[in-house]
Amino acid sequence: MESSQTRAAFDQHEHDHRDCIDAALTVAQEICARDGAQLTKTRRRVLELIWAHRKPVGAYQLLDDLSRERGRVAPPTVYRAIDFLLDHGLIHRIESLNAFIGCHHPRETHTGCFLICRACGATAELEDPKLDRALNDAAANLAFQVERRTVEMRGLCPVCAQTAEGSQFAH
């Protein structure tokens, strides 16, 4: 089953992705103002680059991107910017890929649950408060104190599942 909504979740639908990036930057500005934090030029640019990639992107790639624009950039510059963006909920870390992706609804407190396409890398964040609650309740039922949660599902996105190429990536 595929609809424009499923493609939108993976950012694969026909659209001007610049609008997504601009919207994310605007929200980031608002959140930083709310938190009394500074969205410096570097932090803003790193966020913009993460969004521009559309798929989870690693710190080394971001370092490359930034160095291409500015000349050699020290790794801590990028790591600090990433930490800032994580702290303010503007991006998520995809643990299984050691990569980062922009959050589509950073205003709400949540832990991301992700669907990751093993063929093309497209990633969607599940936005379902019921899911959050169910996991928390299940852990609480076992008197378990959750400190960190990683929910990442690997499979095929709607586009790859539909194309013959999708199966060629199987391994």
- Sequence ranges of the binding site for Zn(2+): 117, 120, 157, 160
Applying the rule CB under 5 A, the residues between 13 and 42 that interact with Zn ion are 17, 20
Instruction: Kindly determine how many residues on this chain lie close enough to bind Zn ion according to the rule CB under 5 A.
Output: 12
Least separation in angstroms between CB 158 and Zn ion: 8
87 vs 79: CA distance, rounded Å: 12
d(CA 62, CA 55): 12
Binding of Zn ion by 97 (CB under 5 A): no
Does 63 engage in binding with Zn ion (CB under 5 A)? no
61-70 contacts at long range (C-beta below 8 A, 24 or more positions apart): 62/100, 66/42, 69/45
What one-letter code names the amino acid at 116? I
DSSP category for residue 134: H
Residue pair 31/44 in contact by the 8 Å Cβ criterion = no
The conformational region for residue 89 under phi > 0 = left, psi -120 to 50 = alpha, else beta, is left
Interaction of residue 160 with Zn ion, rule CB under 5 A: yes
CB of 76 to Zn ion, least distance (A): 25
Stretch that binds Zn ion, among 24-32, 55-63, 76-84, 121-129 (CB under 5 A): 121-129
Query: Count of H helices and E strands in the chain?
Result: 8, 5
Binding range to Zn ion, per CB under 5 A, among 4-12, 30-38, 66-74, 78-86: 4-12
| Three-class SS state of 165 | helix
Piece of 1-9, 67-75, 102-110, 135-143 that binds Zn ion (CB under 5 A): 102-110
The CB-of-72 to Zn ion minimum distance in angstroms stands at 30
Does 11 bind Zn ion (CB under 5 A)? Our answer is yes
In the numeric block, which tokens belong to residue 150? 């990683």
What residues line the site for Zn ion (CB under 5 A)?
11, 17, 20, 103, 112, 117, 119-120, 122, 125, 157, 160
